[in-house]
Chains A and B, each alone.
Chain A
Amino acid sequence: MTTVETPIGTAKTMVLNMGPQHPSTHGVLRVLLELDGEKVVTADPDIGYLHTGIEKSCEHKTYSQAITLTDRMDYLNPLGNNLVYCLAVEKLLGLEVPKRAQYIRVMMVELQRISSHLVWLGTHALDMGAMSLMLYCFREREEILKIFERFSGQRMMTSYIRIGGLALDPPAAWRDMVKSFIDMMPPRVDEYEELLTDNRIWHGRLKGVGYLPLETLIAMSTTGPGLRAAGLAFDNRKAFPYSSYEEFEFNVPTRTESDCFARYLVRVEEIRESLKIVRQAMDKITDQGPIKAEMPGVIPPQREKMKTEMEALIYHFKIFTEGFSPPPGEVYQAVESPRGELGCFIASDGSPKPLRVHFRSPSFVNLQALPLMVKGQLIADTVAAIGTIDIVLGDVDR
């Protein structure tokens, strides 16, 4: 057979445009698939449809104003984004956050991890044709969003974590709310597993699909559940603890198969581990205590002090008009987001606005392993592989 070279591929192959409106690309991912029959020859992800220039906008806002932008990157993990940005600014300032605020932060980001994994599980099952699970997962996620709303007034874009601590004290009845959620959850996770883990169709769609060896994953900078499903127990919460994670007891679940099914099992196990962390955090959080660090000129003063102290009033005015200026220098802070290593690089030139803010988003970096994962597999397997990378397009494109 004679073959003709075309700009992409040869006449033997066909180029198929998957996305950006394809429902299983979880947003606006476009993948150019070069196909030989049903087999994928090459896959070229095309991203940027959701690029909003958040990093550029950060350069033109004061350090505290930029927090609201971070919520809008990875919209399934807004608290985690707040956390990494605030930790980076706090590192830049050399600021120590009170323990009570640290524990509340841990509790909130672990709840966020559960909610993110629930959305992943529900939508991934939906992609694979198991529709009912999505309804169950979103039912439980709703409870987490209600907790967030009580804490911060917002269901999703909470901006609850602030530089130096938290925006608000926890609401009066928070213990009952969180407790009833973590008591309800374990049997519900068992239910999901009952529906999926031994399901033959689920096995057929996921086992052996999207396999990549561990060395390739490390070389491609993959982190998070994808790496742990290949047998490497690397987790930033253990390796480089932040926000007092070293005081919590939890396991880092791993599998060795490195296929879509292993990634599913790792994530389900992570939900259980997160529940353990939330329970421990509840015990550690005291009823009274500061939720904000004290640093005149950086952290807004308490309302009462402003009425009696001249300096407090001046600082309040200065912080909200011109902001604060961290010393010049660069920092890189990494946290473990539900998707992998979420990093924040900030360069300060000593002015009230950052010189450069860069987010190392796990979705963006993990997605570049997709062409390797789907090479030689079926189109239907591409859907499974995209699903188990767990991308959030807001995080990919920023």
Chain B
Amino acid sequence: MSELANASARTVIERLRSWNAEAVSQIVEHRGETTLVVPHKLLRAVAKQCKEDPELNFNQLSDATCVDRYPNEPRFELNYQLLSIPRQARICLRTSVSGPHPVADSLEPVWPGANWMEREIFDLFGVRFEGHTDLRRILLPEGFEGAPLRRDFPTEGQR
């Protein structure tokens, strides 16, 4: 099973690299899962390629989430779980953004389902998404200050 998954991941990497040699800067294998680290400038183009290349066919974005590596820089790691329903394959795309006011390219133009997932990341981590059509807070009230899922935000809340 895991060999098959790796074979499918190899195809993805080869297809992406033959499309653009810079597309995948690092490959992380962990517990049978493959994560492709993508330069943040290329994120949307790579995502588009993953969706539109008929041999990759990642037609659904399962999940998008952020990890705060505070105090390391670049501190925000964005993880996108891609799912190809016809090929029954998964892969993870990862990119890093830094600074107190991080900005990343929105994947909403590629998968409209990214809308709420990115709003959630914006709400809880304060990462802005360029090209998002409706970037508002989603879980927290509008007047809330701060980004509570950042590691430097106290668990008991700000006083």
Which A residues are closer than 8 A to B by beta carbons? 47-48, 51, 53, 55-57, 59-60, 91-92, 94, 218-223, 232, 234, 239-240, 329-332, 334, 341, 343, 345, 347, 355-356, 358, 360, 364-365, 367-368, 397-398
The reply to whether A221 and B113 form a contact with Cβ atoms under 8 Å apart is yes
Q: How many A-B residue pairs have CB under 8 A?
A: 102
The reply to whether B65 and A345 form a contact with Cβ atoms under 8 Å apart is yes
CA distance A330 to B37 in the complex (A): 13
The reply to whether A331 and B33 form a contact with Cβ atoms under 8 Å apart is yes
8 A–B pairs (Cβ distance < 8 Å), ordered by A: A48-B138, A51-B139, A94-B31, A234-B85, A332-B63, A345-B79, A364-B116, A365-B117
The reply to whether B79 and A330 form a contact with Cβ atoms under 8 Å apart is yes
Would you call B46 an interface residue if the criterion is a C-beta within 8 Å of the partner chain's C-beta atoms? no
The reply to whether A56 and B111 form a contact with Cβ atoms under 8 Å apart is no
Number of interface residues of B (CB under 8 A): 40
Interface of chain A, main secondary structure: mixed
Would you call B38 an interface residue if the criterion is a C-beta within 8 Å of the partner chain's C-beta atoms? no
- Among B16-68, those with CB < 8 Å from A are 30-33, 35, 59-63, 65-68
9 closest A-B pairs by beta carbon, nearest first, are A221-B113, A360-B63, A48-B139, A329-B30, A358-B65, A368-B116, A51-B139, A356-B67, A220-B113
Contacts of B148 in A (CB 8 A): 53, 56
The reply to whether A218 and B31 form a contact with Cβ atoms under 8 Å apart is no
Distance to closest chain A CB from B5 (angstroms): 9
The reply to whether A221 and B61 form a contact with Cβ atoms under 8 Å apart is yes
Question: Knowing A51-B139, A345-B81, A358-B65 touch, does A219 contact B111 (C-beta < 8 A)?
Answer: yes
Would you call B149 an interface residue if the criterion is a C-beta within 8 Å of the partner chain's C-beta atoms? yes
Distance to closest chain B CB from A161 (angstroms): 19
The reply to whether A48 and B59 form a contact with Cβ atoms under 8 Å apart is no
The reply to whether A220 and B112 form a contact with Cβ atoms under 8 Å apart is yes
Q: Encode B112-144 as 1/0 by CB contact (under 8 A) with A.
A: 111111001000100000000000011111000
Question: Knowing A57-B155, A364-B116, A365-B113 touch, does A332 contact B81 (C-beta < 8 A)?
Answer: yes
Residue in B closest to A60 when the chains form the complex, CB atoms: B155
Question: Knowing A345-B65, A360-B62 touch, does A332 contact B33 (C-beta < 8 A)?
Answer: yes
Contacts of A219 in B (CB 8 A): 59-60, 111-113
Would you call B9 an interface residue if the criterion is a C-beta within 8 Å of the partner chain's C-beta atoms? no
